[in-house]
Structure 1
Amino acid sequence: MNDSQTTTAPQAAVSPLLDLASITLEVNHLARGVRFYEQVLGLERLEQEAGNTSSVATLRVNAHQTLSLWQPVTRQHNDARLAPLQARGASHLHYAFQVQSSDLPRCKDVLDEHGLSWQEINLGTSDAPDRGLYFFDPFGHGLELRGVNLADSRRPYFLPSVQPARPHVLPIIGLREAALAFQDYSTMKTHLPQAYGFAFAKEQEDRDFAQFTLAPHPEPDGDGTPRRWLYAWDPQVGLADMLGGDHALVRFYADVQAVTRRVKQAGLPHLIDEVGLAVRDPEGHVFEFVEPPA
């Protein structure tokens, strides 16, 4: 967002957060969710399990990012590993995918082809437009398609790669952001940098909306940057009538040891195993931190 102001918030000189790895959504019908994300967004199904104890599917976004779908099962946990932290998929999450800016017109045609209503919003200026397309999946999650310039100097840890064009699906190249709801907004602004090391970048002037850069240092958003982001706001309706997610499960690439030291000092419930670090935030979100693959 360009209509914003930078404020001061305690944070480390260098953030241990590196990039966005995965987002987990809560859905009420797993097969329908898999069809939507395969047929509309062109994601590749890596695994799917539907049964009495769990109902989950994982889809490949690119070589380093995945999207998971969890259908709640009564009195069961979708991931036994995260059961002590009571992890759930996010409800009504707003999140964004990256596409090449030149592909935005084709994205409109694909959305029309699938009968999906969409809204275009220019988050930049008339001289430097930064357009995004907004639409909803069948479960009320608010999706955004944001154009990126892969030659931009503000590079993410894992730069998305362009795949050959496929008919009838959106030309997705990466996950861009997740937007989470926080009831205690003022505490969140200091809590996220202190407890985990997120790099606070800015907040909006007209509403409780803060942005954190998933990178060693905070950087400006918009104008085609391929960086990834964590957004945090109060529960009010956001841009394009989209809500921040409740009880979200989000995975990040990070310096796990550095985050672990902060989490222990903050006294947050967590677990550490061969996968990485998982933490339950006081707001009910569960964050996972894993080392990036070599």
Structure 2
Amino acid sequence: MTPSPILDLAGLTLEVNHLARGVRFYSQVLGLELIRHDEAVGVAEFTVNPHQTLTLWQPITRQNNDDRLASLRPRGASHLHYAWQIDPSDLEPSKGLLDAHGLEWQEINLGTEDRPDWTLYFFDPFGHGLELRGVNREDTRQPHFPPQPMARPAHALPVMGLREVALAFGDYSAMKKRLPGAYGFAFAKEQEDRDFAQFTLGPQSEPDGNGTPRRWLYAWDPQVGLADMLGGDHALVRFYADVNAVADLVAAAGLLSVQDEKGLAVRDPEGHVFEFVAG
């Protein structure tokens, strides 16, 4: 099997209706380091760890949040579900931190009774669904950039990095062919009882769950998932990849794209914009 050119998850962009409120939430609750805050263009950017970023975009009428990508008509994701990697020992203390910030949360076992895989779900102020997922850093299934503990303020959740992003696709059948064919994403599995596909963000397809440090792209038709989480619409997601290999696939598929020294950006037929940068 030809290895996937996709290496890892690099970052994502969320749509918010109040930039300063978003900056406060992600600085205080997640303890992320703010590296850019520009109210004039409606952009705030945080470092998650040395290899991942989280960006907030506040739409401004008749103005681009990013002129470089203007031809692709990108938007930040709305009601995006995404997950954070966290040490399993930090899940229980995180409940108290969420309580202290006045945030409601749900705890769900994604494993089995004899091999549990507990996770916490909660929402940010803009309807994005966040998840804290325990990760075993000793697991052999390592991503391109393995998760490492990060120094966070005592009042912040001790997250290590981004784990997954979940996107909605109106044409689910076409998506299952396009994501591997037009970009090279490695199909991992599909759930038996719902239109829900998992793609490994790495060179080979691997099983998900039970503490794997691997990172993931989830894709489903418009539906409500666990803890009332929704797949994101018109998302902007960045991946580490063999950029030239992805560019060849994108060109063969005839998708709208821009490529420069920063990498490759592509507009998917569903309205998502994917960026691919060298790892």
Pairwise same-fold verdict (TM > 0.5):
yes
Is 1:168 the equivalent of 2:147? no
Match of 1:155 in 2: 142
Match of 2:240 in 1: 253
Is 1:134 the equivalent of 2:121? yes
3-state DSSP of counterpart to 2:65: coil
Match of 1:13 in 2: 2
Tell me the distance in 1 between the aligned counterparts of 2:222 and 2:114. Answer: 32
One-letter amino acid of the structure 2 residue matched with residue 139 of structure 1: F
How do residues 112-123 of structure 1 correspond to structure 2 at under 5 angstroms? 112-123=99-110
Is 1:25 the equivalent of 2:25? no
Q: How many residues align?
A: 279
3-state DSSP of counterpart to 2:86: strand
Match of 2:212 in 1: 225
One-letter amino acid of the structure 1 residue matched with residue 63 of structure 2: Q
3-state DSSP of counterpart to 2:174: helix
Counterpart of 1:68 (choices 23, 35, 55) is 55
* TM-score, reference length from structure 1: 0.94
How do residues 42-61 of structure 1 correspond to structure 2 at under 5 angstroms? 42-51=31-40, 54-61=41-48
What is the Cα deviation at residue 35 of structure 1?
0.2
Tell me the distance in 2 between the aligned counterparts of 1:163 and 1:143. Answer: 18
One-letter amino acid of the structure 2 residue matched with residue 100 of structure 1: D
* TM-score, reference length from structure 2: 0.99
Give the superposed CA RMSD: 0.8
Match of 1:7 in 2: none
Counterpart of 1:203 (choices 186, 190, 210) is 190
Match of 1:35 in 2: 24
What is the Cα deviation at residue 111 of structure 1?
0.3
What is the Cα deviation at residue 14 of structure 1?
0.6
Tell me the distance in 2 between the aligned counterparts of 1:179 and 1:163. Answer: 24
Tell me the distance in 2 between the aligned counterparts of 1:164 and 1:275. Answer: 29
Give unpaired runs (5+ residues) of structure 1.
1-11
How far does the alpha carbon of each residue in 1:205-239 deviate from its partner, in whole angstroms, 9 at most, with x for none? 11110000000011011110111000000111111
Give unpaired runs (5+ residues) of structure 2.
none
Tell me the distance in 2 between the aligned counterparts of 1:163 and 1:15. Answer: 29
Tell me the distance in 1 between the aligned counterparts of 2:155 and 2:37. Answer: 23
Q: How has the CA–CA distance of structure 1 residues 153 and 184 changed in structure 2, closer, same or farther, with 3 Å as cutoff?
A: same
Is 1:144 the equivalent of 2:131? yes
3-state DSSP of counterpart to 2:239: strand
Q: Is the 8 A contact 2:49 2:150 kept in 1?
A: no
How far does the alpha carbon of each residue in 1:92-125 deviate from its partner, in whole angstroms, 9 at most, with x for none? 0000011001110011110011010000010001
One-letter amino acid of the structure 2 residue matched with residue 163 of structure 1: M
Deviation >6 Å, runs of 4+ = none
